[in-house]
Amino acid sequence: MKVRAVFTDLDGTLLEPDGSIRSEAMSEIQRLTASGIPVCLVTSKTAREVVGLLARLRLETPAGFENGAGIVDGEGSVVFDPAAIPAAELRLAAARLRLRSGAPLRTLDELDDSELTSLTGLCGSELAKARDRQATVPLFVAPEWDSTLHATLGARPRMRLVRGNRFLHLQGDHDKTTVMKLLLSRLPSREGLVISCGDSPNDLELLTEAQIAVIVPSAAGPSEELVMKIPGAQIAPQPHGRGWAMAVREIVERTTLWR
């Protein structure tokens, strides 16, 4: 059976912790696209960041940004999901959440450039792109506060909290599968297997929606939450981009043999 598309998270999955991309991962992207298999980026990064990455990775397929808030193409044309909430509204909600929970959280906007560089490895103009949030507000707070913050947010309509690699994201009621479905509708092929790759809890829906799920580990190993919730997932044999390339190549070659 042929592969219809490969959907992938970026930070910690396709990209290295410092934001670079290994030659093995870049070569695999080129091999996939040359074979007619689209590679679709679905990330918590901003639309401006994604536009730069599409060019850097030489990809023409639109990509999802800010955890399913919408899709963006290489020209910067954005389509928002109806569930997306403007960042200004989310910032007010974050201030209320901090007050009511007592959690020592700070929004990404409240981190200075040196702190954000230390956390993300980004600097210069890349910092400005990362700060250009349109529909999510990343919260810098220890995971030990997650349950308290979830309980404090409660059943607030239209909002949810999603844990990523470095931040707890406050956002509308959308996830990566929101844009995954939209991106699939724009692909030329209507048949074949969908492969999804991710490394953290905010990739859960993306992974469970695919026929083949690949959990990409960090240097410390795979996400325990993802392993527990997706028992049938394939674990990449190496961390980050090298493991991504190895796992994707093995799956594509194996599925091609089924034909």
Q: Are 172 and 160 in contact (CB under 8 A)?
A: yes
Q: What is the pLDDT along the chain (259 residues), one digit of tens a residue?
A: 789 999 999 999 999 988 899 999 999 999 999 999 999 999 999 999 999 999 999 999 999 999 999 999 999 999 999 999 999 999 999 999 999 999 999 999 999 999 999 998 888 999 999 999 999 999 999 999 999 999 999 877 799 999 988 999 999 999 999 899 899 999 887 789 999 999 999 999 999 999 999 999 999 999 999 999 999 999 999 999 999 999 999 999 988 754 4
Provide the whole-model pTM: 0.92
Check: CB of residue 162 under 8 Å from CB of residue 171.
yes
Residues 6 or more apart whose CB falls under 8 angstroms from that of 138 comprise 44, 107, 108, 164, 166, 167, 168, 169, 170
**Which residue, 157, 230, 203, is CA-closest to 9?**
203
Structural contact between residues 172 and 159, judged by C-beta atoms closer than 8 angstroms: yes
Which pLDDT score, from 0 to 100, does residue 83 have? 95
The tokens 């955890």 sit on which residue?
Answer: 67
SS3 6: strand
Q: Are 197 and 234 spatial neighbours (Cβ–Cβ below 8 Å)?
A: no
| pLDDT given at position 188 | 84
| Buried b or exposed e, range 116-146, using 16+ CB within 10 angstroms | bbebbebeeebbebbbebbbbbbbbbeeebb
Structure confidence at residue 257 (pLDDT)? 52
Picking from 252, 258, 256, the residue whose alpha carbon sits closest to that of residue 234 is: 252
Q: What is the pLDDT of residues 65-77, one digit of tens each?
A: 999 999 999 999 9
pLDDT of res. 157: 77
What is the residue whose two structure tokens read 């020209």?
A: 75
Torsion, CA 49, CA 53, CA 59, CA 65, rounded to 10: -30
Q: Which residues contact 116 (CB under 8 A, 6 or more apart)?
A: 108, 122, 127, 130, 131
Residue 117: per-residue pLDDT: 93
pLDDT of residue 37: 95
Mean pLDDT of the chain: 94
Within 121-223, where are the H helices?
A: 125-131, 146-153, 176-185, 204-209
143: which DSSP letter?
Answer: G
The reported pLDDT for the residue numbered 189 is 78
